[in-house]
Amino acid sequence: MLALDGLVKRFGGVTALDGVAMRVAPGRVHALLGENGAGKSTLLKCLSGTHRPDAGTMRLAGAAYAPASPRAAEDAGLRFVHQELNLVPEFTAYENAYVGRAYEKRFGLVRWRIMRKRFAAVRDRYGLDLDIDRPVGRLSVAKCQIVEILRALMDKAKILVLDEPTASLSEAEAETLRAIVRRLADQGTAVIFVSHRLDEVFAVADDFTVLRNGKTVNHGRLAETSREAIIAEMAGQAFKQRARAASATGGATMLELSGLRVAPARPSIDLTIGGGEIVGLYGIVGSGRSSLLKSIWGANPLCRGSLVLDRSALPRTGIRSRIAAGVAYVSEDRRNTGLIMHQSILDNAALPRLGRYRAHRGLPVLSHRRLRAGVDAILSGLAVRFGRLDDRISTLSGGNQQKIMIGRWLDDDIRLLLLDEPTRGVDIRSKADIHALCRARAAGGAAVLFATSDIEELLMLASRIVVMAQGAVTLDIANSGVSRETVLKAAFHAPARSGMAS
């Protein structure tokens, strides 16, 4: 169906694709694998007509394929579901589905009813649960992802490309999505599936291509390879995900939350974290993980309850009081609430601790020399590869951006590290680096509280596991011999309203 050979794409001096070959067959799900920065995104952008390759050939169903624009790629029968949502928040699901598509019209007037019906039919065909009359801005991220997918499925595609489609979905939703993908493939569609979750890849895909540094390093059938082999190929050297270190038991209490409520109608939360503990916070989307972390950080005003860090009470709100007390926070969404993408690496890395780089302590005047030296020190501790400090941070891979987002906070007197999905969409090597950072901090006596949607990560990194569902803590248990099932059961547990939980 699709044959790529010798694809090369350069950006300035950087070679993003360096001879990629790939064969995608109809009726099969093809997993495109590789670390962040391996060239997956660039390859997809060549397919979608956003970039034009500098060399190499692309053939679609035997004919030369060289889309000049995303529209041309669509006309050729390719459909893309991108990682980021591209929806108009004020529009309903079906209105969104028709953005960029010919409207149903009669006498020049748009026939909304027909369009709504057609979209509803597609939804029902795949048995998805979605309110199509609500503005998508009021739907959850997961539902928005479903809207994006349905939009791509509105008419029959030759090739469907899914870029990390399950990153923000709950386990159940991801399962539904994988069933849809299988069904489409069985009906003859070729599916290109990008995911960092190898368990998922093995569950849904037939074939695979592994990219590393812009080159195809291996391809074939998943049935004939193993997880370990794929990881080794992506990483480029014998590379094992480190097993969980002996679980540290908490030292003295570092953080104590009691009777915490983020809103009057939400359940109250009690949680204690000891110094040296790595507490993994698991929950499906909407379970209240993120708002709990933001509340501890002082970014969301607390409604009720008390918050004690290392024996001194913190005010209910105010980020600066947290910073002064040695707390650090990393947001789950680096693009929208984490980094300033069009500003430089230097500006982003220095932002939280600008006051450190003064020329004289008493004056709020910066020393550019200190600024550079300080940021250099941050980056050298993180094994981040970059060109110049003045380059935009968006030129770095997602893994490196994420490392900077965490590393810019790290400092000897950090006592509590709050990380919301610190490894989402990050390649395996960066993930390991980030895990190592967490362990090092915990070993140094800090308390680490990280939220994740990845059970494997939870079981691997956490010394204690806390699960939330519908705003309440439904499980709080030391991580020794905890099974996936236990975690999932707690995550889908509906807590009783009147505090009967657990």
Partner 1 sequence: MAFSARYGTLIGLVAIIALFSALSPASFAQASNLINITQQMSLLAIVALGATFVMALSEFDLSVGAVVSMAGIVSVSLFGAGWGVPVTIAATLAAGFCVGLISGYLIATFRMPSFIVTLAIGTVIGGITFWISDGATLFGNIPVAFRDLGRGTLAGVPVLTLWALAATVLALFVLDWTELGRRVLAIGGNREAARLSGVRVTYNSVWAFALCSLFAAIAGLLLTARLGSAHPTGGNGFLLQAYAAVFLGMTAFRDGQANALGTLLGAAIIAVVANGLTILGVPNYLQDIFTGLIIIGAVLVRNIGHRAS
Residues that bind partner 1 (CB under 8 A): 297, 299, 319-320, 322-323, 329, 331, 336-343, 347, 350-352, 354-355, 358, 364-366, 368, 392
Minimal distance in Å, beta carbon 356 to partner 1?
10
> Helix 368-380 to helix 398-407 angle, to the nearest 10 degrees?
110
Minimal distance in Å, beta carbon 14 to partner 1?
12
Bridge partners for 258 per DSSP: 306
Minimal distance in Å, beta carbon 284 to partner 1?
23
Cβ contact 447:417 at 8 Å? yes
Measured from the CB atom, is 169 or 350 closer to partner 1? 350
DSSP state of 334: I
Q: What are phi and psi of 183, to 5 degrees?
A: -65, -45
22: left (phi over 0), alpha (psi -120 to 50) or beta: beta
Measured from the CB atom, is 15 or 253 closer to partner 1? 15
Minimal distance in Å, beta carbon 390 to partner 1?
8
**Which structure tokens are listed for 261?**
């409520």
Cβ contact 478:459 at 8 Å? no
Minimal distance in Å, beta carbon 417 to partner 1?
14
Give the chain's length.
502
- The whole-angstrom separation of Cα 7 and Cα 417 is 42
- The whole-angstrom separation of Cα 251 and Cα 463 is 12
- Where does residue 269 rank: exposed (0-12), middle (13-18), buried (19+ CB within 10 A)? buried
Among 176, 100, 189, 115, smallest CA distance to 145 is for 176
Minimal distance in Å, beta carbon 288 to partner 1?
18
Measured from the CB atom, is 106 or 360 closer to partner 1? 360
Non-local CB neighbours of 265 within 8 Å, separated by 6+ positions: none
Minimal distance in Å, beta carbon 276 to partner 1?
25
Measured from the CB atom, is 57 or 394 closer to partner 1? 394
Minimal distance in Å, beta carbon 354 to partner 1?
5
Measured from the CB atom, is 359 or 383 closer to partner 1? 359
Roughly how many angstroms between the first and final C-alpha of the chain, as a whole number? 53
Helical H runs in 134-192? Answer: 141-152, 171-186
If one counts every other C-beta atom within 10 angstroms of the C-beta of residue 238, the result is: 8
Measured from the CB atom, is 331 or 463 closer to partner 1? 331
Helical H runs in 381-450? Answer: 398-407, 428-443
Single-letter amino acid, residue 418: L
Minimal distance in Å, beta carbon 317 to partner 1?
12
Minimal distance in Å, beta carbon 313 to partner 1?
19
Measured from the CB atom, is 11 or 103 closer to partner 1? 11
Measured from the CB atom, is 197 or 358 closer to partner 1? 358
Say whether 479 sits in a helix, a strand or coil: coil
DSSP string, 39-80: SHHHHHHHHTTSS--SEEEEEETTEE---SSHHHHHHTTEEE
- The whole-angstrom separation of Cα 77 and Cα 67 is 11
Minimal distance in Å, beta carbon 340 to partner 1?
4
Measured from the CB atom, is 123 or 322 closer to partner 1? 322
Measured from the CB atom, is 274 or 298 closer to partner 1? 298
Measured from the CB atom, is 29 or 378 closer to partner 1? 378
